């Protein structure tokens, strides 16, 4: 399997984006289209409801946590 390599400049940009993300208020949202398996979406919505959150906010929380781990 061929791996996509990033340039050193892209790596620096990524790290800078993580640093900024951790230190600033989120910018306005941008609409995207994302295909998600129905069972995962159902689980996300149930989890969000149990937590008293909107499911899109929960997705953003998971994305943010994932970015910080890598």
Q: What is the pLDDT of residues 3-23, one digit of tens each?
A: 778 899 988 988 888 777 777
Average pLDDT on 56-64 reads 92
Structure tokens at 62: 């998971």
Residue 23 lies in a domain: yes
Q: Could you list the residue range(s) of the whole structural domain that residue 55 is in?
A: 8-69
| Dihedral over alpha carbons 68, 31, 33, 56 (to 10 degrees) | 60
The predicted structure's pLDDT at residue 5: 87
Q: Is 42 inside a domain boundary?
A: yes
pTM > 0.85: no
For position 70, what pLDDT does the model report?
A: 61
User: Domain count of the chain?
Assistant: 1
Residues 22-37: tens digit of each pLDDT: 776 778 899 999 999 9
Does 25 fall in a domain?
A: yes
* 1 assigned to some structural domain: no
């Amino acid at each position: 399997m061929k791996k996509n390599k990033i340039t050193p400049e892209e790596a620096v940009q990524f790290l800078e984006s993580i640093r900024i993300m951790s230190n600033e208020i989120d910018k306005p949202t941008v609409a995207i289209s994302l295909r998600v398996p129905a069972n995962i979406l159902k689980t996300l919505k149930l989890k969000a409801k149990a937590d008293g959150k909107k499911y899109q906010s929960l997705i953003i929380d998971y994305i943010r946590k994932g970015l910080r781990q890598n």
